[in-house]
Structure 1
Amino acid sequence: MIVEKVIGNIHTVNEWTGHTEKIYLESDSLRKRIQRVTTDHGNVIGIRLLENKDLRDGDILHQDEKNRIVISTLADDVLTILPESIGQMGEIAHQLGNRHLPAQFEGDEMIVQYDYLVEELLAELGIPYKREKRKVRQAFRHIGHSHE
């Protein structure tokens, strides 16, 4: 089977009584438009997305009356940053922006991929954080930029 488009996402589509097969991907693989993957039931699926769009956790790649195939993101090693003030948020956002480090936000939390230098910076600045294995819904995307 070759999948060319995402037909929905389980986080926005409810009510499914059929069987769900999962494809476990690392967050970096969510950016790949063409790849060969294997479901948790051993079925090999080709993905060749026609749209230039990243996959997301929960994307439904196939669904019929009895079965659906869904993307499930594996947990990443991340730093969850928990600033206690707008000043701390501004300071760490500025520092991470200078490093062009991609971040994601969930509620009041800033999430970045683990980096020992960032961990040292957070400790030095006294900004609360925790290192954890965490499932992210989308790939960390680096934004190209140069200081010319």
Structure 2
Amino acid sequence: MLTFTQRKPPNPHTAVTLTLALTAQERTRSRHHFETEDGQIVCLRLPRGMVLQNGDILQDETSNSMIRVIAKPEPVFTVTAQTALLLIRAAYHLGNRHVPIEITADYLRLSPDLVLRAMLEKLGLKVHEEVLPFQPEGGAYGHHHTY
């Protein structure tokens, strides 16, 4: 079994032997066994607290094999607003609830939650159910991307 212990910066030119599709939650697991899309079991043994990002490359501890991590499509709510202020207000309220969210200038994205959906709609935002890669913000206190 391949055991990946090192993270390399994303690089589209790196020769990889495998691809590992992981949900946002799975990308927070630094020590776990996963199955690749072709059925191979791999082990991650990375420093605790490391959060993987879409495109990260992991290196096996003995064979130097490389695997690329990709963000796996998963159910999400995509939130849009008619004004930037409404979108900022929604981000504020979701942040107060410590909800992992993906933030862009045009939308917010979060894991499905019916209570949060009702709150967002009451605030005047539109909520769309989709199945897409989810890449939430890492947080200001240590869940950032380091190499």
TM-score between the two structures when normalised by the length of structure 1: 0.74
Q: Give the counterpart of 1:60 among 40, 57, 62.
A: 57
Contact between 2:76 and 2:109, CA under 8 Å: does it hold in 1? yes
1:36 aligns with 2:33: yes
Aligned positions, number: 135
State the 4+ residue runs in structure 1 displaced beyond 6 angstroms: none
Structure with the greater alpha carbon radius of gyration? 1
Whole-Å separation in 2 of the counterparts to 1:138 and 1:70: 19
1:15 aligns with 2:22: no
Structure 1: segments with no counterpart, 5+ residues:
144-148
Cα pair distance change 1:7/1:100, threshold 3 Å = closer
Task: Give the letter aligned to residue 27 of structure 1.
Answer: A
Whole-Å separation in 1 of the counterparts to 2:105 and 2:90: 16
Deviation at 1:100, TM superposition (A): 2.3
Matches within 5 A, 1:1-148: 1-9=2-10, 13-15=11-13, 20-50=17-47, 52-62=49-59, 68-137=66-135
Contact between 1:103 and 1:140, CA under 8 Å: does it hold in 2? no
Whole-Å separation in 2 of the counterparts to 1:21 and 1:99: 37
Contact between 1:36 and 1:45, CA under 8 Å: does it hold in 2? yes
Contact between 1:78 and 1:114, CA under 8 Å: does it hold in 2? yes
Structure 2: segments with no counterpart, 5+ residues:
142-147
